[in-house]
Amino acid sequence: MALTALLALGPLAGCGDDEGSTTELDAETWAARADRFCTDGVQEATALPLPQKAKDVPADADARAAIIATVGDGIITLGSPEGVDAEALGIYIAELAADNAELTQAADSPAGGPILIDESAGQAANELGLEGCAAFSNAIARTP
């Protein structure tokens, strides 16, 4: 997925905003925008119907993986401005990528397979002070 590709490029040192400007964000604005991406992700994830049959699990996992990729890509585009712990941000992005990989694996399995998403992404979001992103991780980790 795109999240994994962006992780490989290591763009966390970049900066920017929704308008395409190169003005660096302050930490408070960065956090508000990151949480906005996550809040949008919560709405998308909670709108997904729970799979009714095992054969529905792969499609559900694929949909949740796509939501994680969108949120992760959005956060990556914000960069890591001064005042944001770049190491903690890297951990959060890595945890999102791990959840994405888990869901992608389940999506690629005909039976859906077990989906093992733990609380690591939510804990990493809390370390960054991103309450919306912690809630996003809970919404994504739902067990069908």
What residues does each domain of the chain span?
Answer: 26-46+53-140
Question: What's the predicted TM-score (pTM) here?
Answer: 0.82
Q: What is the pLDDT of residue 142?
A: 77
pLDDT per position as a tens digit, 53-98: 888 889 999 999 999 999 999 999 999 999 999 999 999 999 999 9
Distances (CA, A) of 106 to 15, 117, 121, 122: 34, 11, 18, 20
How far apart (Å, rounded) are the C-alpha atoms in residues 133 and 88?
A: 13
Between 125 and 144, the more confident residue is 125
pLDDT per position as a tens digit, 94-111: 999 999 999 999 899 877
